[in-house]
Amino acid sequence: MADQLLTESEAAKMLGWSSSNLRARRGRLTRSPGNDAAPRFVRIGGAVRYSMPELGRWLQRHPEYQGRREQLDATISQDDVCAMLKIGRSTLRECRAKRRAGDAGAAPPHVQVGQEIRYRESDVQSWITRHAVVTRNA
């Protein structure tokens, strides 16, 4: 069976990098072939592809980046949080901005890995519990 090939953006997301960072590292790799700054890639016409096994081998050689991938795996996406809270992405973005401005209760804490914004599900659940409004029946 053939290896699964990933696009540049898919590989960058897996590594916790931006596509431009991966592209720059790939440039260093092609200028000096012994350089291990980025995973090896395949060029198909004008397209650049990365194989899953090669990404795995590169991550094994560079354990300093494994935490980023594990951090992404242990979190949920913005869309998941929006679905849990029944709000839109723009509302969540505004709440994050308020949190950065000093209103810690405005949104659940988040982590940013590369350009990806993620949330720990336990943080979101704790935030919901802390900010629940209890009402009394009349």
22-31 confidence digits (pLDDT tens):
888 888 766 6
With a cut of 90, say whether residue 129 has pLDDT above it.
Answer: no
Task: Report how far Cα 7 is from the mean position of its chain's Cα atoms.
Answer: 16
Q: How far apart are the first and last CA of the chain?
A: 66
**Contact of 17 with 114, CB cutoff 8 Å:** yes
Give 36-90 pLDDT, tens digit per residue. 888 888 888 888 898 888 888 888 888 777 656 555 556 788 999 999 889 999 9
Exposed / middle / buried, residue 6 (Cβ in 10 Å: 0-12, 13-18, 19+): buried
d(CA 68, CA 65): 6
Banded pLDDT at 34 (limits 50, 70, 90): low
Q: Name the helix (H) or strand (E) containing 61.
A: helix 52-61
pTM: 0.48
**Contact of 23 with 30, CB cutoff 8 Å:** no
d(CA 94, CA 96): 5
Q: Rounded mean pLDDT of the chain? A: 80
